[in-house]
């Protein structure tokens, strides 16, 4: 009986570690997608090549298997929030926020 309990405990521990690892991996993917989305939208904003920055951001997020949740211009910066799916029973998506804009090189 003790062996069965020990095996069940080990299985639960492995499942917990795998879930946390998967969540951290998805968080990293969301951060990368948010950064790429913000940079794409900021580049379009500063080059003047796009009239709808959020459409540029939506496209960049989709190319990174993410979904654009919000997009806003704050001063000279573009601020976006993107989310990626997470396959956990208690959390379906993980979101990250990113900001991109000009920085003086002086």
Cα angle 36-102-63, degrees, rounded to a multiple of 5: 15
Q: What's the rounded mean pLDDT across residues 77-95?
A: 87
Can you list the positions of beta strands (E) in the chain? 67-74, 77-88, 91-100
Specify the pLDDT at position 106.
Answer: 63
DSSP the chain: -HHHHHHHHHHHHHHHHHHHHHHHHHHHHHHHHHHHHHHHHHHHHHHT--S-HHHHHHHHHHHTT-EEEEEEEETTEEEEEEEEEEEETTEEEEEEEEEE------
Bridge partners of residue 81, in order along the sequence: 70, 97
Cα distances (angstroms) measured from residue 2 to each of 6, 8, 52:
6, 10, 63
Mean pLDDT along residues 9-38 = 87
Write out pLDDT tens, residues 49-82. 677 888 999 999 999 999 999 999 888 889 999 9
Global confidence as pTM: 0.78
Q: Which of 77-81, 86-90, 102-106 has the highest mean pLDDT?
A: 77-81
pLDDT for 104? 64
């Amino acid at each position: 009986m003790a062996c069965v309990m020990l095996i069940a405990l080990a299985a639960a521990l492995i499942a917990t570690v795998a879930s946390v690892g998967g969540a951290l991996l998805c968080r990293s993917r969301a951060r990368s997608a948010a950064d790429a989305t913000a940079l794409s939208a900021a580049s379009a904003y500063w080059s003047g090549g796009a009239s709808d920055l959020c459409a540029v951001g939506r496209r960049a997020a989709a190319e990174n298997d993410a979904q654009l949740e919000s997009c806003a211009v704050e001063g000279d910066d573009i601020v976006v929030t993107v989310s990626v799916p997470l396959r956990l029973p208690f959390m379906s998506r993980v979101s990250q926020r990113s900001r991109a804009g000009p920085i003086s090189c002086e």
